[in-house]
Structure 1
């Protein structure tokens, strides 16, 4: 095969170009030819191959290939073509200048590595978009894992670029970095811990974007809006944002309310403090009235005819007939350990409403109704005396 450099030089001499300019003219012509070839190859890839791939992906039932062959990914892939063409064809222009050829090829390799890193970053972003559209993967904290892969790719690319610049093998540089592993561990401590924590959170399904979590230590009480490599962002109910390191969610304790939402029932657990002085045996008239109203199946013995018992039965019947109380979950009205503040009567049930506002509305309705019903059974709420109470007592004594 004839040397293209000599052939072009011969043609330039025949065209009348002076002898001293023919060699450089030939090299310039070859360089321009290389640039033209790289430009045409890139244009052909973008104008013909990309539309063909996109048409094929559009005809498939899957949606993931539509993301992988979208314009942004394909254009980043097209950036790999020029440095590859230059690297392969530059010896034709600089064959007689090995030093210049080595420098230009190093530049082409660095350009190729940078373009490859850009393509990897775009592909990882695309995979994240695909994951967010997948029913199973959308709730997984995968963003941190993708960010870690990006970081590793950048580190590897940086090592390759340094090895190209200094003309040494990449494994030699890695061996040298091994001696400073402690320093690297310190620099990338949060990223490494974040990656490990992200894998644990994902593998154990401990946390998903959109979960309502409570972590008192960090003042977090709201919905998870983002899980990244180094932070977990929680939008609190007061619209503030709390950032938590992912490894803190693994090493410390936090409360995830997802189970409550998935169960379809949210617990109501409230106590009424009954004044102990108002708890007494019922009179025969009260017993007959309560039995007639259905708060007891049949008349009881005297020791069982306590007004607090009838109130508990009434509260259980009220919860059983109240819309919004989950019929398949536990319902209970129980007496807790008496205290100096009175006798706690605890209302324990589950609401079918898990959202905050409807839940609080139902809970308030229950408490309001039961508090208003206490006088009906001769009971009253315990309340510490205020200054007004003492004033009325003094006025009464006078």
Structure 2
């Protein structure tokens, strides 16, 4: 190419001298001519390599079974590589073309070198993006924070790239640069505080397996209640159940408290833990005729017989005076109701009988005596879980009247007037 440019210049130089241009003008004319020829050749090389790289990669991607090469095409890796080859051609040609212009040769060479470094970083980025998309297609990696890993690697590469660029532009040694960065580390920590915190948090989240993509988490501080859809270096994105998206700083996952429901989803059941408030004044001992009537309730008829026999035997052996119900041992409507609810839960088909199942009495409150249901459903799906829980409490509330018990609720204005 250089010989061709010399032939063109040898042909043009006498003409320039004839029309009055001096050696300086002729030299600049030679420079412009060389740059024009270099630009033309560079463009031709770019067109050729872009056509072959993009076309050949597309053909190869169609013939292979793996999806990775398809993702390389969608991330335009071949397109950016086709830019790199002409740049390398320019970088090698600059010393020849600008041989007589030392200053411009140095400046232009540095700029081209910087552009090559940035382009290499961008090509590496597209390859990592393709790798990220490919790993997300694999079931074993679908819940891993791949974005965080990629961003950490790219952050390190960009730091190295910026160091090389500064060294190239200002002819500073890398050792000197790192020593300078150490001296201004306090300022760097202040500027990149969120990035560094996010980096540390991402590592801890990954190592401790605190959060995975697809986990259902609840984070009251940020109003998040939904599935994790993305984990990267700086943020965690949560798609809430109302289809809104909450963005949480990654370092908040290790500095604040949040709830991860993964353990529940991976377990054998989802817990029901809810209580009713029973009016204390409605709790009393049961009379014999009331017990005979309650024996008609099939779930507790055998229990009443067995329990009443034990109580009668105890009272008789201890010569208890039953003139007053408070003497000796007695059945209460509240205790019998707890037994009924326990039997009802044990026979309910959608509950996991291998896990805890109980109906218990809690600490009395100003509103009444809490009666709590503590059990686990087999079905953990949200809609089915809510239906099962509602069905159980529908029956509990409807059956409470058969035991002459009352549920606490605030009186309305109409009730107050009626009681006057």
Q: Does 1:252 align with 2:256?
A: yes
Q: Aligned pair count?
A: 392
Label 1:7 to 1:245 Cα distance change in 2 as closer, same or farther (>3 A): closer
Q: Distance in 2 between matches of 1:58 and 1:131?
A: 19
Q: Distance in 1 between matches of 2:9 and 2:286?
A: 125
Q: Distance in 2 between matches of 1:273 and 1:329?
A: 25
Structure 1 match to 2:323: none
Native 8 Å contact 2:279 2:406 kept in 1: yes
Q: Does 1:4 align with 2:3?
A: yes
Structure 2 match to 1:209: 213
Structure 1 match to 2:267: 263
Structure 1 residue 170 displacement after superposition: 3.4
Q: Residue deviations 1:117-154, cap 9 Å, x none?
A: 32233233323322322212222223234334434433
Structure 1 match to 2:392: 366
Structure 1 residue 269 displacement after superposition: 0.8
Q: Distance in 1 between matches of 2:241 and 2:396?
A: 29
Q: Does 1:79 align with 2:56?
A: no
Native 8 Å contact 1:296 1:313 kept in 2: no
Structure 1 residue 182 displacement after superposition: 0.8
SS in 2 for 1:338: coil
Native 8 Å contact 1:31 1:90 kept in 2: no
Q: Distance in 2 between matches of 1:80 and 1:157?
A: 16
Label 1:89 to 1:308 Cα distance change in 2 as closer, same or farther (>3 A): same
Label 1:308 to 1:69 Cα distance change in 2 as closer, same or farther (>3 A): same
Unaligned regions of 5+ residues in structure 2, if any?
Answer: 18-22, 312-328
Q: Residue deviations 1:7-57, cap 9 Å, x none?
A: 5268627x9755668766665555444334433333332222343344334
Structure 1 match to 2:51: 47
Structure 1 match to 2:346: 320
Question: Does 218-227 or 174-183 show the bigger shift?
Answer: 218-227
Structure 2 match to 1:294: 299
Q: What is the TM-score normalised by the length of structure 1?
A: 0.85
Label 1:313 to 1:160 Cα distance change in 2 as closer, same or farther (>3 A): same
Native 8 Å contact 2:72 2:126 kept in 1: no
Q: Distance in 2 between matches of 1:6 and 1:342?
A: 101
Native 8 Å contact 1:54 1:70 kept in 2: no
Native 8 Å contact 1:296 1:310 kept in 2: no
Label 1:76 to 1:305 Cα distance change in 2 as closer, same or farther (>3 A): same
Q: Distance in 2 between matches of 1:66 and 1:146?
A: 19
Structure 1 residue 176 displacement after superposition: 1.7
Q: Distance in 1 between matches of 2:37 and 2:283?
A: 103
Structure 1 residue 370 displacement after superposition: 0.6
Match of 1:104 among 100, 108, 112: 108
Label 1:282 to 1:75 Cα distance change in 2 as closer, same or farther (>3 A): same
Structure 1 residue 207 displacement after superposition: 1.2
Question: Does 38-47 or 234-243 show the bigger shift?
Answer: 234-243
Unaligned regions of 5+ residues in structure 1, if any?
Answer: none
Alignment of 1:322-337 (within 5 A): 322-337=348-363
SS in 2 for 1:79: helix
Label 1:34 to 1:390 Cα distance change in 2 as closer, same or farther (>3 A): closer
Structure 1 match to 2:138: 134
Alignment of 1:152-301 (within 5 A): 152-237=156-241, 241-263=245-267, 265-291=269-295, 293-298=298-303, 299=305, 300-301=307-308
SS in 2 for 1:333: strand
